[in-house]
Amino acid sequence: MHIRPSDIATWLRNGVSAAGADGLLVTLNGTLGSAVTARLCQMAVDEKVVAVLPAEAPLSETAHEAQQFAEDSELRVLRLALDLATNRLGAALAANMAAAAGPLATADREWIRLSGLRGRMQMAAAYFVADSLNYLVAGSLDRTDLTLGSFTRYGDAAVDLLPLGHILKTEVLTMAAELKIPQTIVDRARAEPASSPDLHSSDAGLAHRDLERYFTDGPDGVAPAAALKIERLMRAAERRSGPPLMMDRE
């Protein structure tokens, strides 16, 4: 069954009302999911939306597209300058780790990215803003992202509302046309293969269509190798997205 943007907007509006919040905050990063989520937030609460954008210098192509999208959509924008703070904290942590236990990591940008430090700092900054405004944080991960583990635990997955959480990537693409998302953002999303921090080089052949066939027809709907990859990724994603484990009381 086709999910209508208006139904998701109603769900978002009801979520804001139930929480006693005053609006919604969304992080715009140039991805299709973030653009669609921002549009849905606007449909839900009109002008009571704040879009958080990275304040990079110079702007990357995706950051520039996110900025242009925000301007064209007449979104209220808050730019977060996280690069300097993230690099400084990463350097300090790496130095302390090296002093305590040898050179376990270096404070280069790749280590910071892989460690999830920037994503978690962005989450903390987003909640600082949202709490100050009495807004809820809307995330942009879809069902494909959540299944493959394409997220940072306590980073972009740490949100109040996930309006696309039960929607597959191809459904988000269909919704993007209805919401008039810029074609450059849509084209890039179409070209991107399935991705996850847990994907190994042997998983390079995994495509979105394999995942969707798996959801529709079960393991028999895809090649055995693809089914094994998907199930392994699903198990890893569940461990990362689930609540903390607690020992049962006897």
Q: Which two tokens stand for residue 195?
A: 């991705």
DSSP-derived secondary structure for 191-236? HPPP--TT--GGGTT--HHHHHHHHHH-GGGS-HHHHHHHHHHHHH
Residues of the chain with pLDDT > 70, as a percent, come to 84
Backbone angles phi, psi at 76, to 5 degrees: -70, 130
Q: Which of 65-74, 166-175, 188-197 has the lowest mean pLDDT?
A: 188-197
Q: pTM for this structure?
A: 0.82
Structure confidence by residue, pLDDT tens digits, 115-171: 688 888 889 999 999 999 999 999 999 988 888 888 888 888 889 999 999 998 889
Q: Which of 38-42, 72-76, 95-99 has the lowest mean pLDDT?
A: 95-99
Nearest by Cα to 197 from 240, 165, 138, 226: 240
Q: Which two tokens stand for residue 165?
A: 């959480």
| Residues whose CB falls within 8 Å of the CB of residue 70, separated by 6 or more in sequence, listed in order | 28, 38, 51, 53, 77
* 194 pLDDT higher than 90: no
| DSSP code of residue 116 | T
pLDDT band for position 202 (cuts 50, 70, 90): very low
Secondary-structure class of domain 5-192 per CATH? alpha beta
Cβ 31 vs Cβ 140: under 8 Å: yes
Rounded mean pLDDT of the chain?
83
- For CATH 3.40.50.620, list the domain ranges present in the chain: 5-192
Q: Which of 44-53, 76-85, 189-198 has the lowest mean pLDDT?
A: 189-198
Average of pLDDT values for 67-72?
Answer: 92
